Amino acid sequence: MEFKAKEIAEILGGVVEGNPEATVTTFARIESGKSGAICFFANPKYEQYVYTSKADIIIVNKSFEPKQPVGATLVKVDDAYAAVATLLEYVNRRKCRRYRGCRSRVRWSAKVGRKVYIGDFAYVGKNAVIGDCTKIYEHVFVGDGVKIGSNCIIYPGVRIYPGMEIGNNVIIHANAVIGSDGFGFAPLEDGTWKKIEHMGHVIIEDDVEIGANTTVDKSQMGCTVIRKGTKLDNLIQIAHNVEVGPNTVIAAQTGIAGSSKIGEHCIIGGQVGIAGHISIADNTSLGAQAGVLGTIKESGKAFMGTPAIPYKDYLRSYAVFKKAGK
């Protein structure tokens, strides 16, 4: 990559303060900026590095007023943190190129868009559809009839079962599994368990990111759905028929049991367990290791503990627990 300050400002809708011809070829953290690098400053505790950084360009908020001389050219934007994400995405898309590994296998009936990267030992099944500028890395399995949108990144070892649907701008990290059977078994009189076939699908909407080794099970009937803008960390289990609302974030090792519905803009901490067939209201926050056993109806509330109770109640209860242990 190579960008001038004026080009970066145009991409980000910002303004240049300094040399508009300043040129960069790499990214760096603000505390380790060097010549030829671009950094960003958003957290006040890192302000000292703005004055000492050797970087040629620093992205800052428009509200930032330097207290000392700054050697770098500043690109001022509304939100420096979001601007860097936008710039990184822009750079990644500029690298878009067509490649098909000689040891990959793409079935003749698959429809592959422009500038698609398919790594060695990847498999793309019959009637699959791959959108423009999508990258399918080595050892990925894309089953028959899978639909993957444009500008997606599917990292090595991902398995996408037949018939699943992936939107645009989706990132799926290594060894995630999309569309495996849900955990459904019927008890029989002799004490054994009969498998319940799962005939449904998984739909991953646009702008979703799914962490490494995360699993999203297909539904028995209908669809398991991860809505637009949701971010899933590593090692998460999403069971059959679950729906996760838009722009929800879920931290590692969380498990959501079958047929539960998670609202939009929820924040779910690590190792949270959510029981099956319940609903979580919009804008709910669940602290780490919370165990949610029943429906949460009121939006905008925070919960913690097992069973999960309102956050302030938990703090009061914890104070009592500490006293009881003395």
C-alpha torsion sign, points 42, 44, 50, 55? negative
- Under DSSP, is residue 289 helix (H, G, I), strand (E, B) or coil? coil
At residue 326, the pLDDT reads 65
At residue 269, the pLDDT reads 98
- The helix or strand, by DSSP H or E, that contains position 133, with its residue range, turns out to be none
| pLDDT-based confidence at residue 96 (cuts at 50, 70, 90) | confident
At residue 99, the pLDDT reads 82
Q: By the 8 A CB rule, do 62 and 83 touch?
A: no
Residue 322 pLDDT > 90: no
At residue 1, the pLDDT reads 76
64 shares its domain with 199:
no
Q: Compute the residue count for the chain.
A: 326
90 shares its domain with 119:
no
Q: Classify residue 23 by burial, with Cβ atoms within 10 Å: 0-12, 13-18, 19+.
A: middle
Does residue 324 form part of some domain? no
- The answer, yes or no, to whether the previous bond of 44 is cis (omega within 30 of 0) is no
Number of CB atoms found within 10 A of residue 205's CB: 20
Question: What CATH number has the domain bearing residue 290?
Answer: 2.160.10.10
At residue 232, the pLDDT reads 98
186 shares its domain with 244:
yes
**pLDDT greater at residue 2 or residue 161:** 161
Q: What is the mean pLDDT of residues 41-51?
A: 93
> Distance (Å, rounded) from C-alpha 65 to C-alpha 49?
14
Active-site residue, 139 included: no
Q: How far is CA 87 from the centre of its chain?
A: 17
164 shares its domain with 280:
yes
Q: Which of 198, 201, 240, 265 is catalytic?
A: 240
Number of CB atoms found within 10 A of residue 25's CB: 12
C-alpha torsion sign, points 275, 240, 106, 128? negative
Does residue 320 form part of some domain? no
Q: Among 94, 125, 159, where does a domain finish?
A: 94
Nearest to 291 by CA among 278, 300, 225: 278
Query: Nearest 10 degrees: CA dihedral of 270, 273, 278, 280?
Result: -20
Does residue 323 form part of some domain? no
- Under DSSP, is residue 65 helix (H, G, I), strand (E, B) or coil? coil
- Under DSSP, is residue 184 helix (H, G, I), strand (E, B) or coil? coil
Q: Among 94, 121, 148, where does a domain finish?
A: 94
Residue 16 pLDDT > 70: yes
Range of the domain at 22: 3-94
Residue 243 pLDDT > 70: yes
Percent of the chain with pLDDT over 70: 99
- Packed helices 80-94 and 5-12: angle between N→C axes, nearest 10 degrees: 110
As given in the structure block, the two tokens for residue 189 are: 């009189």
Residue owning tokens 């992205």? 59
At residue 93, the pLDDT reads 73
At residue 133, the pLDDT reads 93
pLDDT, one tens digit per residue, over 164-189 is: 999 999 999 999 999 999 999 999 99
Number of CB atoms found within 10 A of residue 180's CB: 15
Q: What is the mean pLDDT of residues 309-322?
A: 90
Phi, psi of 143 (to 5 degrees): -75, 175
- Under DSSP, is residue 142 helix (H, G, I), strand (E, B) or coil? strand
Residue 196 pLDDT > 80: yes
Residue 325 pLDDT > 90: no
**pLDDT greater at residue 213 or residue 99:** 213
90 shares its domain with 122:
no
- 203 DSSP β-pair partners: 165, 225
Q: What is the mean pLDDT of residues 251-262?
A: 98
As given in the structure block, the two tokens for residue 195 are: 């498998």
Question: How many domains does one find in the chain?
Answer: 2
